[in-house]
Amino acid sequence: MLADIRNSLKYVKDVLSSDVKLPADYRQFSNIVICGMGGSAISGDVIKDSFKDALHVPIEVSRNHKLPGYAGSNTLVIAASYSGNTWETLAQLEQAVKRKCKTVCITSGGKMRELAVKKKLPCVKLNEGLMPRVAFPYLLAASLSVFESLKLVKVPEFRTLSKNMNRIENEAKQLVDKINGTMPIIVSHYPSPALRFKTQLNENSKLLAKDEILPEIHHNDVESWHRLDSNFSVIFLRESHEDRDVKNSFDVDKKLLSKRTGVHEVFGEGETRLERILHMIILGDFVSYYMAEKNSIDPYGTSMIDHIKDYLATH
């Protein structure tokens, strides 16, 4: 897992270098639905956060077994499942085919690959043999390739991130020492890095954590802060360059929270929003791995998830 995290950027670049061919009529759509669960869905969240100012069509990330009711022949559906056997995503894929949506599959194989071949759907084939959460860079890059093929986005070169990978790993180790033994609360202006950070701590570190988004927390969560103490830690995912409103929000929150619990700041660096968000995500991946190592926890096993999947598959 550690080697995979270190190679995250390489995986992204490898997939981006492949050409994604889509039918000509796929360029005509009125909305986009990205179907997926877990790490597959996070890739859609990252694209929404990174390009929200540039994209001029509605995008929904659907974590469900039912495709949104509005999805139809003018909808671009991107169904992503690393294993190809995620039942919720397969259910949405089947509905997308029935409704004649413009559908693209992203998978390493499984039933999704079989259905894509049978229905002659465009499919981005990923390398096999990874855990879905480790395969996030592949899933993200494949989704970006689809968007780039449709000329919806232009993917950056990640120059700053490439130079800083060793420093990000060292920063993660230091953060682990500071937050170990606490329940982390991850706060960001962007939903995707906060959620990814939280879910990696859940799966890899087997640690309770929660994520919160600015400015929404100022309308609810702040009223619970008087109950925070040294059993909690707060991690701010910030950017090296923030607009005034975001900076002011983080600054006032830091003043309030520092009186009650530990506050730690991470500054995503990069020339583009996508690069800065990936900085935050990769750091969170490193934190989750080293947190598990520090507490002698197996980051690979997911016994609870496996139990629930087995139960649902037989009921």
Per-residue pLDDT band for 254 (boundaries 50, 70, 90) equals very high
Q: Is the pLDDT of residue 305 over 90?
A: no
> What pLDDT digit, counting tens, does each position of 178-226 carry?
999 999 999 999 999 999 999 999 999 999 999 999 999 999 999 999 9
**Cα four-point dihedral sign 199, 204, 208, 209:** negative
> What pLDDT digit, counting tens, does each position of 140-171 carry?
999 999 999 999 998 888 999 999 999 999 99
Residue 46: CB partners within 8 Å, gap ≥ 6? 140, 192, 193, 196, 274, 277, 278, 281
Query: Six-digit token pair at 280?
Result: 């935050």
Residue 233 β-bridge partners: 184, 262
How many residues in total does the chain contain? 315
Coil, strand or helix: which one is 232?
Answer: strand
- The residue-averaged pLDDT of 264-281 equals 95
Contact call for residues 41 and 63 (beta carbons, < 8 A): yes
Q: Could you tell me which of 103, 106, 113 has the C-alpha nearest to residue 42?
A: 106
Contact call for residues 257 and 235 (beta carbons, < 8 A): no
Q: Is the pLDDT of residue 21 over 90?
A: no
Q: Could you tell me which of 134, 140, 126 has the C-alpha nearest to residue 275?
A: 140
Give the least confident one: 114-118, 145-149, 189-193, 286-290.
145-149
Per-residue pLDDT band for 10 (boundaries 50, 70, 90) equals confident
Query: Six-digit token pair at 85?
Result: 């056997």
Element (H, E) at 192: helix 191-205
Element (H, E) at 234: strand 232-239
Rg (CA), the chain: 20
Residue ranges of domains in the chain, CATH in brackets? 2-149 (3.40.50.10490), 159-294 (3.40.50.10490)
Coil, strand or helix: which one is 98?
Answer: helix
Cα-based distances in Å from 293 to 195, 205, 206, 299, 300 = 21, 8, 11, 8, 11
Residue 37: CB partners within 8 Å, gap ≥ 6? 63, 81, 86, 88, 89
Contact call for residues 88 and 63 (beta carbons, < 8 A): yes
Contact call for residues 74 and 123 (beta carbons, < 8 A): no
Residue 313: CB partners within 8 Å, gap ≥ 6? 87
Structure confidence at residue 219 (pLDDT): 96
Q: Give first-to-last CA distance, the chain, whole Å.
A: 33
Whether pTM exceeds 0.85: yes
Query: Six-digit token pair at 268?
Result: 């995503």
Structure confidence at residue 276 (pLDDT): 96
E strands present in 64-200: 75-81, 102-107, 123-125, 183-188
Contact call for residues 260 and 228 (beta carbons, < 8 A): yes
- The residue-averaged pLDDT of 273-286 equals 96
Per-residue pLDDT band for 121 (boundaries 50, 70, 90) equals very high
Give the least confident one: 44-58, 180-194, 280-294.
44-58
Element (H, E) at 247: helix 244-258
